[in-house]
Copies of this chain bind each other. A is one copy, B any other.
């Protein structure tokens, strides 16, 4: 039985969307057990009773505008903190929250803890591509500053995830850079390029420019947390702006545009679907001792369901356990040199 601790109070649509997603997952997967942390009076109205779901009541929760590290230290009984603590204490194997990202990163690092040999766990998401296959990108902003050695670890982490969780036999790994030639970039990129090119355990395909990401040129994209965060937000912002303008073009275009939109409805829905992140699951703070997964703040029940499904696959394939093995083995080899 896979045990997942869930912060029932995090995100814009909590607890309703969280609980409805849990209901769906409990029905779909007979091998999971869910521990909900939050206000039981607010949870119960939405919960379909099951002997595989329990509620640990708490009044306290972390808000979206709380200062992350401070919130984790001071709100010891917050739903998010208790869910992370359940993993630390061995009562659960993974934690999910749609709440304050910074606070979840802090809870992951300080409560769940990182794998000893991984210096800086990275935030990783599966982003959409035109062909529908997607790619895993990290670090998306868990760190403001990264070294080449961190980026090398991200390449290994991302490959592990793409292989084990997404079933890609030999994931193509790219380095986000300001040109595709091998000599491109600043000193961080040049140093990282050499490390990745020398590592036979990964399939490094070279530098990748941000404009080619949606074309599906790689399965894993490695970036420092600052640039990764900026690129992720640029993609999101552009997609949201264009889709918003498209809607605006239709509504302000008069009766003719409205008739057109009616005819185009199916095709436009299809477009929206292909840009939809929610079926790809949440963002994983990868490099910790257990899966710590952030679902988008605006997650609906469907997104929560898919994030639980993603966590279930991570536990099923023991991707984190395998990471521990590989990294501790490397460490030992280094010791014997």
Contact = CB atoms under 8 A, between A and B. Distances in A.
Interface of A: 130, 141, 144-145, 176, 178, 184-187, 189, 209-215, 225-227, 229-246, 249-250, 252-253, 256-257, 259-268, 270-271, 274-275
A294 to B, nearest CB: 16
Contact of A253 (B226, B232, B238, B264): B264
10 contacts: A144-B184, A185-B226, A215-B241, A234-B238, A235-B238, A238-B239, A242-B271, A249-B271, A253-B267, A260-B265
A275 B210 contact: no
Contacts of A176: 230
Given A231-B210, A241-B215, A246-B246, A186 B226 contact: yes
Given A144-B178, A145-B187, 7 more contacts: A130-B244, A144-B185, A178-B226, A213-B237, A227-B230, A235-B237, A259-B263
Nearest to A244: B130
Given A253-B267, A263-B256, A267-B250, A214 B230 contact: no
Contacts of A263: 256-257, 259-261, 263
Given A186-B144, A257-B264, A271-B245, A212 B226 contact: no
Contact of A270 (B184, B225, B227, B249): B249
Given A185-B226, A210-B233, A242 B239 contact: yes
A184 B274 CA distance: 33
B267 A257 contact: yes
A118 to B, nearest CB: 20
Contacts of A178: 141, 144, 225-226, 229-230
A253 to B, nearest CB: 4
Contacts of A227: 226-227, 230
A95 B162 CA distance: 48
A266 B256 contact: yes
Nearest to A268: B249
A211 B226 contact: no
Contact of A237 (B214, B245, B249, B274): B214
A313 B102 CA distance: 46
A252 B271 CA distance: 12
Contacts of A189: 144, 226
Given A144-B185, A226-B227, A236 B211 contact: yes
Interface centre among A211, A225, A232, A250 (most CB of B within 10 A): A211
A211 B239 CA distance: 9
A189 to B, nearest CB: 8
Contacts of A211: 233-234, 236-237, 240
